[in-house]
């Protein structure tokens, strides 16, 4: 009887948390079937089975956190599955609480049992997502009768007390996605019917046990970090503690880049992605990285790692966290392709559908806060990368040209470098090359 073990779903993953079992004891499983949703240090994703048979035993309950390689379920032949099913549900342990309202109550818990601490209880009169999906056949179902929905759609539906089986999915193959659930919730509110909210604290809200007595600072509430937030905190602290940061600042005249983008926008056809200034910066960095291998490398275990591919990570603000999806081989792609990929990746981050492979393999990072009106800032290196470029806002400022004061579109950037691999002069040369490429954007098309 083979075991299904906690898989490694990202290059930095050390443990995972069971969010939702998509198959139950007695269900037939084929290779490639989605059987469980797992929270990793980078994203939530459904794990596809690499074995076929009947699910005979679930070893890890929803909410449990286990290291990579730990058994989470067993698969046997059909006879074993029928025996396990007739024996009744296996007693389940209470889930480990990772954050307020995050894990769901375990399947098989008696109706009279109170919900686990921090768990979200389905609304009265509305069965939980795991039990109600496909009940009336109106939802989009897979072959087993289970409603097909993305992890984020399931979470939102559970929080809102919405029956997924009543929603028509608009995703691939009829899969229910985030916007479908939000549309259903909005329609219910407009109709005045109102779906009863799930019992218990809302996601991100503190449970009664996490509220302190009144202090001199007022009432203090505590929120547990998600696995992603914990990973960000740990990695940023390690980066600042182990990588000797130094910073280089520069101003870039973006006047020609502004004009070039205006021409690209005017020439773009309907539905075509128009490169943003950030896309231009990603392309300029990628070309400069190709010419400066140390900036495209890392210091690790007492030696330099130099990479043959130029993969630029683009920092995206996600829900209560920061996610860095990767534009692979950015030096070989045109501006429009980079623009199209960047937008798709950012949307997948916001929808909670980004996958670990899309967050891995970065060799350099661009972090842009210009849209918030920030002129300059110093970013923390995304270890073990050699550097990160912090980008501010483009603003019209007076500059001196040929002895005359004229207006120019100026951009402030700050390059944070790991002094163990990228020294002062090479870092300055790299940043000067980025500036030259942006000040003459025709080079970005070469």
DSSP H helix total and E strand total for the chain: 10, 18
Predicted TM-score of the model (pTM): 0.64
Residue 363: the pLDDT is: 96
Give the list of residues 6+ apart from residue 224 with CB closer than 8 angstroms, or none: 97, 98, 99, 100, 102, 118, 210
Model pLDDT, residue 198? 42
pLDDT of residue 185: 82
What pLDDT score does 65 carry? 86
| Residue matched to tokens 């670990």 | 356
> What pLDDT, on a 0 to 100 scale, did the predictor assign at position 173?
65
Whether 292 sits among the annotated catalytic residues: the reply is no
Instruction: Specify the pLDDT at position 1.
Output: 62
pLDDT at position 142: 55
Q: Which residues of the chain have pLDDT under 50?
A: 80-139, 193-208
Alpha helices (H) in 60-128, listed in sequence order: 78-86
Q: Tell me, what's the pLDDT at 154? A: 77
Name every residue whose Cβ is closer than 8 Å to that of residue 217 and which is 6 or more positions away in sequence.
none
What is d(CA 415, CA 418) in angstroms, rounded to the nearest whole number? 10
Sign of CA dihedral 137, 139, 142, 148: negative
pLDDT score of 191: 56
CATH class of 3-191: mainly beta
- The residues spanned by each domain of the chain are 3-191, 228-445
From residue 340, alpha-carbon distances to 182, 316, 422 in Å are 25, 15, 31
Q: 422 and 388 in contact (C-beta within 8 Å)?
A: no
Q: Does domain 228-445 sit in CATH 3.30.559.10?
A: yes
Residues 410/251, Cβ–Cβ less than 8 Å: yes
Provide the pLDDT for residue 291: 96
pLDDT of residue 190: 57
Q: Is 192 exposed, middle or buried (0-12, 13-18, 19+ CB in 10 A)?
A: exposed
Q: Select which of 343, 395, 419, 420 is catalytic.
A: 419
Q: What is the 3-state secondary structure (H, E, C) of 277-328?
A: HHHHHHHHHHHHHHHCHHHHEEEECCEEEECCCCCEEECEEECCEEECCEEC
Q: Tokens 């980066």 label which residue?
A: 239
DSSP run (H or E) holding 347:
helix 335-350
How far is the C-alpha of 77 from the C-alpha of 169, rounded, in Å?
A: 33
Q: Where are the alpha helices (DSSP H) in 386-423?
A: none
The enclosing H or E element of 399 equals: strand 387-401
pLDDT for position 2: 75
**Beta-strand pair 15-21/34-39:** antiparallel
């Amino acid at each position: 009887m083979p075991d299904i073990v906690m898989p490694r779903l990202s290059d930095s993953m050390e443990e995972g948390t069971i969010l939702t079992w998509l198959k139950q004891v007695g269900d037939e499983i084929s290779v490639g079937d989605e059987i469980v949703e797992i929270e990793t240090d980078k994203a939530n994703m459904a794990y596809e089975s690499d074995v076929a048979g009947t699910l005979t035993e679930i070893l890890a309950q929803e909410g449990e956190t286990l290291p990579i390689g730990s058994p989470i379920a067993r698969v046997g032949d059909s006879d074993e599955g029928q025996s396990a099913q007739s024996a009744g549900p296996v007693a389940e342990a209470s889930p480990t609480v990772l954050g307020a309202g995050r894990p769901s109550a375990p399947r098989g818990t008696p109706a009279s049992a109170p919900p686990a601490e921090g768990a979200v209880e389905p609304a009265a009169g509305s069965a939980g997502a795991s039990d109600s999906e496909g009940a009336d056949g109106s939802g989009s179902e897979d072959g087993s009768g289970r409603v097909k929905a993305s992890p984020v759609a399931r979470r939102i539906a559970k929080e809102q007390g919405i029956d997924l089986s009543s929603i028509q999915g608009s995703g691939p193959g009829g899969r229910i996605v985030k916007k479908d659930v939000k549309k259903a919730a909005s329609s219910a509110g407009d109709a005045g019917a109102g779906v009863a909210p799930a019992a218990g604290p809302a996601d991100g809200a503190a449970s009664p046990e996490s509220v302190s007595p009144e202090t001199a600072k007022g009432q203090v509430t505590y929120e547990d970090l998600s696995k992603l937030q914990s990973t960000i905190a740990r990695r940023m602290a390690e980066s600042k503690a182990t990588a000797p940061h130094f910073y280089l600042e520069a101003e870039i005249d973006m006047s020609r880049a502004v004009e070039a983008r205006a021409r690209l926008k005017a020439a773009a056809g309907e539905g075509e992605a128009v490169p943003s200034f950030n896309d231009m910066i990603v392309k300029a960095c990628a070309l400069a990285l190709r010419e400066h291998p140390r900036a495209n490398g890392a210091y690790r275990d007492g030696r330099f790692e130099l990479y043959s591919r130029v993969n630029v990570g683009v920092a995206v603000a996600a829900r209560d966290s920061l996610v860095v999806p990767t534009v692979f081989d950015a030096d070989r792609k045109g501006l429009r392709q980079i623009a199209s990929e960047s937008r798709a990746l950012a949307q997948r981050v916001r929808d909670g559908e980004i996958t670990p492979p899309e967050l891995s393999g970065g060799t350099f990072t661009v972090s842009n806060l210009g849209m918030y009106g920030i002129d300059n800032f110093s970013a923390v290196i995304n270890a073990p990368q050699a550097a990160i470029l912090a980008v501010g806002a483009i603003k019209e400022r007076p500059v001196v040209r040929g002895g005359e004061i004229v207006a120019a579109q100026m951009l402030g950037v700050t390059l944070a470098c790991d002094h163990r691999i990228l020294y002062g002069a090479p870092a300055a040369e790299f940043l000067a090359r980025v500036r030259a490429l942006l000040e003459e954007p025709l080079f970005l098309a070469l």
